[in-house]
Amino acid sequence: MKKVITYVVLPLIVLVLGYIIYTSIQEPVVFEKQRKYRETIAIERLKDIRTLQVAYKTKYNKFTGSLDSLIDFYNNGIITVVKQVGSLDDSLAVAQKRVFRDSIRIAVKDTLLKRPGFVIDSIAIIPLSGGQKIEMKAIIGKVSGVDVPLFEASIPFDILLKGLNRQLVVNLNSERVNTERYPGLRVGSIEAPNNNAGNWE
């Protein structure tokens, strides 16, 4: 009986304990790797939203709180682009009035976010979330008594990191809340103007 315990049971216990220790060490490593991967995709989408929002505001003097409106603006919108012909450094050309600005109207999708593999419909979706949408808000806020258009687009960690180690997600959220930061990724702010910055920047 002692031999069975020594040669069979004890090695099994050692193997199980070794596996438990290994996985407990590896879990945070796997979590960080997955978190960085998901955040990279999410940040790119938030930057794309910001790009379209800035163009939308240039045209309409306000931001939109609707992702569908932003997608429609990309697909069907027209923006005016001002192009300078000639150089202001060329004094002869300036004197001969050969330096001027020309306005051209161009489709938003022919100007913005022109990169391989870009799909406008994915801009609204939180990566690896099963189709859940990014939260977006837009308001006209008062800043020093002046009306200022503001927007924010947010992706909570609870949705972005769904399926990963729950305790590590809870710890991450708690750390953000304790330091008075949004528990997730966010671009812009409807509470205070921040030049449409992302909280990862």
Amino acid present at 113: L
**Residue 198 carries which DSSP code?**
B
For 22-162, where are the E strands, in sequence order? 78-85, 100-107, 135-143, 146-156
Please classify residue 119 by burial: count the beta carbons closer than 10 Å to its beta carbon, then call 0-12 exposed, 13-18 middle and 19+ buried.
exposed
With left for phi above 0 and alpha for psi between -120 and 50, is residue 197 left, alpha or beta?
Answer: beta
Q: Would you report the helix, strand and coil content of the chain in percent, each value rounded to 5?
A: 50, 20, 30
Residue 13 has pLDDT above 80, yes or no: no
Confidence of residue 40 (pLDDT cuts 50, 70, 90): very high
Phi, psi of 29 (to 5 degrees): -65, -45
pLDDT (0 to 100) of residue 18: 58
| Mean pLDDT, rounded, for 132-136 | 95
Q: What is the pLDDT of residues 148-190, one digit of tens each?
A: 999 999 999 999 999 999 999 999 999 999 999 999 999 999 9
Residue with tokens 């049971």: 9
Contact assessment for residue 73 and residue 112, using Cβ atoms and an 8 Å cutoff: no
For residues 23 and 68, the model is more confident at: 68
Eight-class DSSP state of 187: E
Q: What is the pLDDT of residue 186?
A: 96
Confidence (pTM): 0.79
Distances (CA, A) of 36 to 40, 41, 87, 125, 140: 6, 9, 44, 17, 34
